[in-house]
Amino acid sequence: MLLINCPYCEDDRPELEFANAGEAHIHRPKDMADMSDEAFEAMFFIRDNPKGVILERWRHAHGCGRFFNAVRHTVSDKFLKTYMAGEPRPSDDEITELMK
Protein backbone atom coordinates (compact mmCIF):
# COMPACT_ATOMS: atom_id res chain seq x y z
CA MET A 1 0.00 0.00 0.00
CA LEU A 2 1.46 3.28 -1.10
CA LEU A 3 1.88 6.17 1.27
CA ILE A 4 0.85 9.38 -0.43
CA ASN A 5 1.43 12.96 0.60
CA CYS A 6 -1.66 15.04 -0.02
CA PRO A 7 -0.46 18.56 -0.81
CA TYR A 8 -3.71 20.03 0.50
CA CYS A 9 -3.75 18.11 3.78
CA GLU A 10 0.05 18.33 3.96
CA ASP A 11 0.18 14.83 5.36
CA ASP A 12 1.25 11.33 4.38
CA ARG A 13 -1.83 9.18 4.17
CA PRO A 14 -2.35 5.52 3.14
CA GLU A 15 -3.30 4.72 -0.42
CA LEU A 16 -6.73 3.47 0.70
CA GLU A 17 -7.78 7.12 1.08
CA PHE A 18 -6.92 7.95 -2.52
CA ALA A 19 -8.07 7.17 -6.02
CA ASN A 20 -5.69 7.27 -8.94
CA ALA A 21 -6.99 9.56 -11.64
CA GLY A 22 -4.67 8.86 -14.54
CA GLU A 23 -2.14 10.92 -16.41
CA ALA A 24 -1.60 14.51 -15.32
CA HIS A 25 -1.31 17.68 -17.40
CA ILE A 26 -3.57 16.50 -20.20
CA HIS A 27 -4.92 19.62 -21.82
CA ARG A 28 -8.63 19.66 -22.56
CA PRO A 29 -9.00 22.54 -24.99
CA LYS A 30 -11.77 25.07 -24.52
CA ASP A 31 -12.60 24.96 -28.22
CA MET A 32 -13.20 21.25 -28.49
CA ALA A 33 -15.23 21.57 -31.66
CA ASP A 34 -12.14 22.40 -33.67
CA MET A 35 -10.13 19.43 -32.52
CA SER A 36 -9.02 16.94 -35.12
CA ASP A 37 -9.79 13.26 -34.60
CA GLU A 38 -6.06 12.77 -34.02
CA ALA A 39 -5.98 15.44 -31.34
CA PHE A 40 -9.04 13.98 -29.68
CA GLU A 41 -7.51 10.52 -29.74
CA ALA A 42 -4.35 11.91 -28.21
CA MET A 43 -6.27 13.66 -25.47
CA PHE A 44 -8.67 10.91 -24.58
CA PHE A 45 -6.90 7.63 -25.35
CA ILE A 46 -3.16 7.98 -25.79
CA ARG A 47 -1.39 7.72 -22.49
CA ASP A 48 2.07 8.37 -21.27
CA ASN A 49 3.00 4.98 -19.87
CA PRO A 50 6.62 5.38 -18.91
CA LYS A 51 8.89 2.89 -17.26
CA GLY A 52 10.38 5.61 -15.12
CA VAL A 53 9.02 8.93 -13.95
CA ILE A 54 5.32 9.43 -14.40
CA LEU A 55 3.27 12.56 -13.82
CA GLU A 56 -0.08 11.42 -12.60
CA ARG A 57 -3.18 12.60 -10.80
CA TRP A 58 -4.64 11.35 -7.56
CA ARG A 59 -7.76 12.32 -5.72
CA HIS A 60 -7.83 12.33 -1.94
CA ALA A 61 -11.23 10.74 -2.28
CA HIS A 62 -11.69 9.67 1.32
CA GLY A 63 -10.03 12.77 2.70
CA CYS A 64 -10.19 16.35 1.53
CA GLY A 65 -11.62 15.33 -1.85
CA ARG A 66 -9.06 17.32 -3.82
CA PHE A 67 -7.41 16.27 -7.04
CA PHE A 68 -3.67 16.81 -7.11
CA ASN A 69 -0.63 15.81 -9.13
CA ALA A 70 2.25 13.54 -8.31
CA VAL A 71 5.66 12.69 -9.68
CA ARG A 72 6.29 9.00 -9.11
CA HIS A 73 8.77 6.46 -10.38
CA THR A 74 6.94 3.50 -11.89
CA VAL A 75 9.64 0.96 -11.17
CA SER A 76 10.27 1.74 -7.51
CA ASP A 77 6.75 3.20 -7.00
CA LYS A 78 8.47 5.96 -5.03
CA PHE A 79 6.78 9.36 -4.94
CA LEU A 80 9.24 12.10 -5.76
CA LYS A 81 6.80 14.96 -5.29
CA THR A 82 3.13 15.81 -5.01
CA TYR A 83 1.72 19.22 -5.85
CA MET A 84 -1.59 20.95 -6.20
CA ALA A 85 -3.75 20.86 -9.29
CA GLY A 86 -3.04 23.87 -11.46
CA GLU A 87 0.60 24.12 -10.47
CA PRO A 88 2.93 23.89 -13.44
CA ARG A 89 4.44 20.65 -14.55
CA PRO A 90 7.89 20.20 -12.97
CA SER A 91 10.72 20.86 -15.38
CA ASP A 92 12.96 18.04 -16.54
CA ASP A 93 15.75 19.58 -14.48
CA GLU A 94 13.61 19.53 -11.38
CA ILE A 95 12.69 15.89 -11.99
CA THR A 96 16.33 14.99 -12.45
CA GLU A 97 17.05 16.74 -9.18
CA LEU A 98 14.23 14.87 -7.43
CA MET A 99 15.61 11.56 -8.66
CA LYS A 100 18.85 12.06 -6.79
Partner 1 sequence: MRNFNALNLAREALRGHKGWGQQWRNPEPKKQYDIIIVGAGGHGLGTAYYLAKEHGLKNIAVLEKGWLGGGNTGRNTTIIRSNYLYDESAGLYDHAVKLWEGLTHELNYNVMFSQRGVMMLAHSVSDVQLAQRHIHANRLNGVDNEWLTPQQAKDFCPPINISKDSRYPVLGAALQRRGGVARHDAVAWGYARQASAMGVDIIQNCEVTGINRAPSGEVTGVETTKGTIGAKQVGVVAAGHTSVLMEMAGIQMPLESFPLQALVSEPVKPVFPCVVMSNAVHAYISQSDKGELVIGGGTDSYVSYSQTGSMHMLQETLDSIIELYPMFNRMKMLRTWGGVVDVTPDRSPIIGMTPVKGLYVNCGWGTGGFKATPGSANVFAHTIAKDEPHKINAGFTLDRFRNGRLIDEAAAAAVAH
Partner 2 sequence: MNSTSQQAFRVKARGSRIGARSVSFTFDGKTFEGLEGDTLASALLANGVHLMGRSFKYHRPRGVLAAGVEEPNALMQISRDNSKTTPNVRASVQEIYDGMKAQSQNRYPSLNFDIGAVNNLLSPVFVAGFYYKTFKWPAVAWDKLYEPFIRRAAGLGEAPTEQDPDRYANRFAHCDVLVAGGGAAGLIAAKAAADKGKSVILCDENPEFGGWLLSDTDIRIDGQTGEEWSAEMVRQLLAMDNVRLLARTTCVGYFQQNMVVLNERVTEHLSRPNVELPRERMWQVRAGKVVIAQGAIERHMVFPDNDRPGIMLAGAAQTYLNKYGVAVGANVGVYTACDSAYAAAFDLAEEGVTIPVVIDHRDQVSDDIRAQAKEFGIKVITGAHVYCTTGKLRVNSMSIRHHKASSGSEDFEIDALITCSGWTPSLHLYSQSRGKPQWDEATRRFLPGESPQECVSIGSCNGTDELADIFVEAAEAVGGKAQKPKIEDDVPTSSGMVGATGTSADKGKAFVDFQNDVTAKDIALAVREGMHSIEHVKRYTTNGMATDQGKLSNMHGLAIAAKLLDKPIPQVGLTTFRAPYTPTTFGSFVGHARGALFDPTRKTPIHEWAVEQGAEFEPVSLWNRARYFPKAGETMDDAVDRECQTVRKTAGVFDASTLGKIEVVGPDAAAFMNIMYTNGWDKLRPGRAKYGIMCRDDGFIYDDGVVGKLSSTRFHVTTTTGGAARVLNMMEDFTQTEFPEMKVWLTSTTEQWATIAVQGPKAREIVEPLVSGVNIANEKFPHMSVAECQVCGVPARLFRISFTGELGFEINVPADYGRAVWEAVWARAEPLGACAYGTEAMHVMRAEKGFIIVGQDTDGTVTPHDAGLSWAVAKSKPDFVGKRGLQRPDLIAKGRRQLIGLKTKDPKKVLQEGAQIVADPEQSIPMKMVGFVTSSYWSGTLDQSIAMAMLEDGNARMGETLYVPMPDETIEVEVTGTVFYDPKGERLHG
31 binds partner 1 (CB under 8 A): no
6 Cβ partners below 8 Å, 6+ apart? 13, 18, 60, 63, 64, 66, 68, 82
Instruction: Write out the binding residues for partner 1, residues 64-83 only, by CB under 8 A.
Output: 72, 74-77
| C-alpha–C-alpha distance, residues 69 and 14, integer Å | 16
* Strand 19-23 to 11-14 pairing: unpaired
54 binds partner 1 (CB under 8 A): yes
User: Nearest approach, Cβ of 53 to partner 2 (angstroms)?
Assistant: 15
84 binds partner 1 (CB under 8 A): no
Question: Site residues (CB under 8 A) for partner 1?
Answer: 1-2, 15-16, 19-20, 22, 37-38, 40-42, 44-51, 54, 56, 72, 74-77
